[in-house]
Amino acid sequence: MNILFLHPELSPFVGKQYRDAPCKVLFVGESHYLPSAYDNRIGAEWYSQSTASYGFTSEALAYLNTAQIICNDVIASDFKNKSHSIYRNIGNVYGEVFGKGDYRSALEFVAFSNYFLRPAEVCGGSIAVNDLDAKVSYLHLTELHKQLQPQWIIFVSKKAYETFCNVCKDTSLFNKSEVLPHPSCAWWNTPSASYGNLSGKEKLKRLLNSHHL
């Protein structure tokens, strides 16, 4: 199943400087969602039908294109949309550790993809994961791993990470995978026992420094 053939807008964001990055990191979020007009309208057929077959509006299509969002609405924009703080926070930490400036320049050295490829059922909600979602998402991640060869795969969604762990049988892939709290939640700046008594920001710094060349 080539999910990107059916849904090319789901292609990951890969920064222009990723191949020359001091530490190649694939950050992994949870899932996309669509405007509320499409709530509960996307099911298992997503894995066999093309995006074009749904007749989405241009607004809906934009919701699905993380690469375009990061390029146009984060890196190239002076407006700091609250919903995009996940990317700014990741970029700022990466830039601080490796001396790559603020998030606008630092994001060009990383890659980002959502783990689940089917949009969440409700706008702004968390996806209800089924067995097919788990299978397709894992296979897609293994393909991204082959293509991008990251040193770290860092999940910023606990649900995505736990689903991955439940199906991953590849020790080398598992060992380079870590999880952080979502960069827009309180635990990004507050230590938590769940993350080794570190804040999300501090844990990310430690992971990046462990591969600092």
Name the pLDDT band for 2 (thresholds 50, 70, 90): confident
- Give me the residue spans of the domains in the chain: 3-209
pLDDT tens for each residue of 161-189: 999 999 999 999 999 999 999 999 999 99
Cα–Cα dist 165/189, whole Å: 25
Would you mind telling me the total number of residues written for the chain in this entry?
Answer: 213
Going along the chain, which residue ranges are E strands? 13-14, 25-29, 111-114, 152-155, 177-179
In angstroms, the CA 133 to CA 135 distance is: 6
CATH architecture of the domain 3-209 equals 3-Layer(aba) Sandwich (3.40)
Task: In whole angstroms, give the CA distance from residue 119 to residue 100.
Answer: 33
pLDDT tens-place string over residues 3-61: 999 999 999 999 999 999 999 999 999 999 999 999 999 999 999 999 999 999 999 99
Say which residue the tokens 């950050």 belong to: 27
User: Whole-angstrom distance between the N-terminal and C-terminal Cα of the chain?
Assistant: 37
What tens digit of pLDDT does each residue of 96-135 get? Answer: 999 999 999 999 999 999 999 999 999 999 999 999 999 9
Q: Smallest Cα–Cα separation from 46: which of 115, 113, 143, 116?
A: 116
Q: Quick one: CA dihedral 99, 103, 105, 109, positive or negative? A: positive
pLDDT of 212 > 80? The answer is no
